[in-house]
Structure formats: C-alpha cells, structure tokens
Amino acid sequence: MNILVFVKRVPDTESRIRIQHETRTIAEDGLNFVISPYDEYAVEEALRLKEAQGGTVRVVSVGRDETATVLRKCLAMGADEVLLVKDDLPETYDGLRTARIIARAVERKLAGADLLLFGKQSVGADNSQVPAMVAELLGLPQATVVTKLEVEGASATALREIEGGLEKVVLSLPAVISAQKGLNEPRYETLKGIMAAKKKPVPVVTLDELGFGAGDLVPAVETTGLDVPAARQAGKILKGDPAETARELVRLLRDEAKVI
C-alpha cells in the first residue's frame, strides 16, 4: 500500500504564547517546535499499515526550511521518504491555501497513493480544515476524527467520533483519513532510526516548481486583531466545613451567578 502522511511543524502545546501586536502575529523566538501531536497518530497508523500489509510511507510537510527537522523525526520513526514543500509565508490561517498546495503536490509529485493520512487538526491554528479540503480538491472520500481504521483491499472502514457516539464510515480507496487521539500510541524513534534518518535526504520542492504563479496563493484570510483572552476576575474561594462550603457555593450559583 502506498501511503502519504501530512504533518505540520507547530509550537509545542506547553508553549507560552506571546503576541506581537504591531504585526498581529505570535512571536516565534523561544518557542519549541514539534510535529503536531495528531499528526504523530497519522504517522504511526501509516507505519502500522505498512508493517501489516507492505508498501511505502511518504511524509510530506508544507513549510519553511526549519520544517526539515520534523520530517527527519518521521524518517527516524520509520518513514521511507519525505518531501518538503517550501512555503515561506508564516501562518495564514487559510486552510484552503495549504490544501491547494498539498493537492497540487499530490497530483504532480506524489501520484498513486492509496491512503492520505492527516491529523484531525493542527494545534495552534486549530483549524480542522485541510484534510477535508484536500479530499474535495482531489475528489476523494474522507473520514475525519478517526479513532479506528481498518483497510482491506480497496476499501476501508473507519470509526469517527461524533457527539454521543461513533459513526462508521465505509470508504473506497484512495481516501483521506484524519487521525484523532485513541487511534494508536505513537512509537518513539530508536537510536538506530535517528542515525539512519541522518543519512537520508530531505528533498525540497518549491511552489514555483508546482506551477503556482506569483498571485495564485494570496491568502483570503485577513487578520484584523490578535489578543490574549480577557483575564477572568479572581474568583471566590471557600474554605472550611464541607457542608457549609457546599451550601454557600450553591447559594452563590443561584443568587449571584444565576446559573441554577
């Protein structure tokens, strides 16, 4: 089976976010960048499918030169090949722009895949857009937010999370899947893997080489403001006898907050 996995380089979730007000962007200095956590489930699922059924795993990322580091991690985990699509723009929040780049890269450089695996959302932008957009641009079926995947021959069955339950989606391949926590437990890279990854190349393709012209990828999202959330008012903290504090809390919820 020929599997493509799409990963994004993002600030790790422990990061303290600082806002640059003039440019309405997040300051990048001092941030620790990682592969987006849901994308790791996608990489792991691809490796497991390959181990069970044979085939190749290619991992692709759209981003700046620094993105090579997360692709190396994927090589160390066991991916066969990687591809960096070089895009110099910082975060645009325009999922369709990224999806267009990915769809074009698939058509021109990565044809013949049976399965396209994504994370359910890239942490940070928290968009949850790219996988379904790529599916639509390529005319493929999709299952997003998947916690269980079975592939047999030319079809796949996925369980996806919905409110209060799961949906079973039956898909014919090729198909797009986005991974949710619960799908698997990602492996750690081994020392041997890390050493081997160092020797493998990280090929780069430019937007130009994918046939995009200067005006083709102007973001359609315009940032007009970026702010930290309004600080919550310091709350009322009750101490002492459990029965009394419980009674006082209920009184506050009813008379002051009026939520009950």
Partner 1 sequence: MIAAYLEIRDGKIKKSSLEALSEAKRRAAELGVETAAVLVGAAVSGLAPAAFAQGAAKVYIVDNPVFADYSSQAHAFALAGFAAQAKPSAFFFAATAMGKDLAPRVAARLGVALVSDCTKIAVKGGALEFTRPIYAGKAFLSLRLKSSPQLATLRPNVFPVGQAGEGTGETIRLEVAIPEGSTKGRVTEILKEESAELDVTEADIVVSGGRGLKGPEAFSLLRDLAAVFPRAAVGASRSAVDSGWIGHQHQVGQTGKTVSPELYMAVGISGAIQHLAGMSSSKFIVAVNKDPEAPIFKVADYGIVGDLFEVVPKLTDELKKALKD
Ligand X SMILES: Cc1cc2nc3c(=O)[nH]c(=O)nc-3n(C[C@H](O)[C@H](O)[C@H](O)COP(=O)(O)OP(=O)(O)OC[C@H]3O[C@@H](n4cnc5c(N)ncnc54)[C@H](O)[C@@H]3O)c2cc1C
List binders of ligand X among 30-69 (CB under 6 A). Answer: 37
CA 246 to chain centre: 42
Which residues ranging from 162 to 191 are in contact with partner 1 (CB under 8 A)? 162-172, 175, 181-182
Pick between residue 153 and residue 242 the one whose CB is nearest to ligand X: 242
Are 1 and 174 within 8 A, CB to CB? no
Nearest to 216, CA basis, from 68, 61, 87: 87
Region at 61 (left for phi over 0; alpha for psi -120 to 50; beta for the rest): beta
Pick between residue 52 and residue 226 the one whose CB is nearest to partner 1: 226
CA distance 16 to 13: 8
Select the residue interacting with partner 1 from 7, 74, 83, 145 (CB under 8 A): 145
118 binds, among ligand X, partner 1, ligand AMP, none (CB under 5 to 8 A by kind): ligand AMP
Binding mask 3-22 for ligand X (x = CB under 6 A): ----------x---------
How far, CA to CA in Å, does 242 sit from each of 140, 245, 246? 57, 5, 6
Nearest to 225, CA basis, from 3, 8, 7, 23: 23
Binding mask 131-160 for ligand AMP (x = CB under 6 A): x-----------------------------
Q: How far is the CB of 158 from ligand X (least distance, A)?
A: 22
Q: How far is the CB of 125 from ligand X (least distance, A)?
A: 16
Nearest to 34, CA basis, from 10, 15, 7, 64: 10
CA distance 203 to 90: 21
The one-letter amino acid code at 48 reads R
For ligand X, the nearest residue by Cβ is 13
Select the residue interacting with ligand AMP from 127, 166, 194, 248 (CB under 6 A): 127
Q: Rounded to a whole number, what is the distance in angstroms from the first to the last CA of the chain?
A: 55
Which residues ranging from 78 to 117 are in contact with ligand AMP (CB under 6 A)? 95, 98
Contacts of residue 251, defined as CB under 8 A and 6 or more positions apart, other chains included, come to none
Tell whether residue 129 is a contact of ligand AMP (CB under 6 A). yes
Binding mask 25-64 for ligand AMP (x = CB under 6 A): -----------x-xx---------------------xxx-
Binding mask 221-240 for partner 1 (x = CB under 8 A): xxxxxxxxx--xx-xxxxxx
Please give the torsion angle defined by the CA atoms of residues 167, 172, 174 and 177, in that order, rounded to the nearest 10 degrees.
0
Applying CB under 6 A, the residues found at the interface with ligand AMP are 6-8, 36, 38-39, 61-63, 95, 98, 118-119, 121-122, 125, 127-131
